[in-house]
Amino acid sequence: MALVLALGNPGARYARTRHNVGWWVADELVARWKAPYTGTSSLWKAWRARVGEHTCDVVEPLTFMNLSGEALAKWGEKHPFEREELLVLSDDVYLPAGAIRIRAGGSSGGHKGLESVERSLGGREFARLRIGVGEHGEGSLREHVLETFEEDDERKVSEAVLIAADAVETWLREGLTAAMNRYNRRTTQEEQAP
């Protein structure tokens, strides 16, 4: 069993904002896998797919970003999971728009959703895939993540969503190390290209 937790904010107002790119990847996976909808609660909505030999739940918290860990905790009460079975998808303002990074753990970088998940799990040791949404520059970080993309950045991020979905499939089939080796290196080489 595997669990993909995609961070975002519920409601049409936030659907295309920077903070919701985790949901964009989840939606791509659900469509790609033709994953049946398995239900909702006040805290989350979920799908379950069979991918090769693996069963994977895709969960989107409905708590708003800052309380994502509460949704995960409630999910875990009904669907127990091991920490190594979890992959969290989130946006990252410290990565260029369209870059992706996969890590086995690490700092939240000030991301309120990741901080909430850390509190819920009692530590930072969980896999995360972050999608770059571009730095916020001079303005407010909160406003930046709740805004929609400019056209060029949206194109880059939309392309990255497809690559991120490929990376999730690699994690599921081959493990975290394979996904990190394949997709972190690829992104770094692309950034260094002239």
| CA atoms 102, 14, 123, 81: torsion sign | negative
Alpha-carbon separation of residue 37 from 59, 74, 102 (angstroms): 10, 18, 26
Q: Give percent of the chain with pLDDT exceeding 70.
A: 89
pTM of the model: 0.91
Over residues 56-110, the pLDDT tens digits come to 999 999 999 999 999 999 999 999 999 999 999 999 988 999 999 999 999 998 8
CB-based contacts of 170: which residues, under 8 Å, 6+ apart? 178, 179, 182, 183
- By annotation, the residues acting in catalysis are 19
Pairing of strands 100-103, 127-132: antiparallel
Over residues 124-156, the pLDDT tens digits come to 999 999 999 877 666 666 666 667 767 888 899
Both tokens of 135, joined, read 């730095």
Q: Give the integer Cα–Cα distance in Å for 144 and 141.
A: 5
Q: Which residue has the tokens 């939606």?
A: 27
pLDDT > 50? residue 33: yes
Q: Is domain 2-192 annotated with CATH 3.90.226.10? A: no
Both tokens of 21, joined, read 């790119």
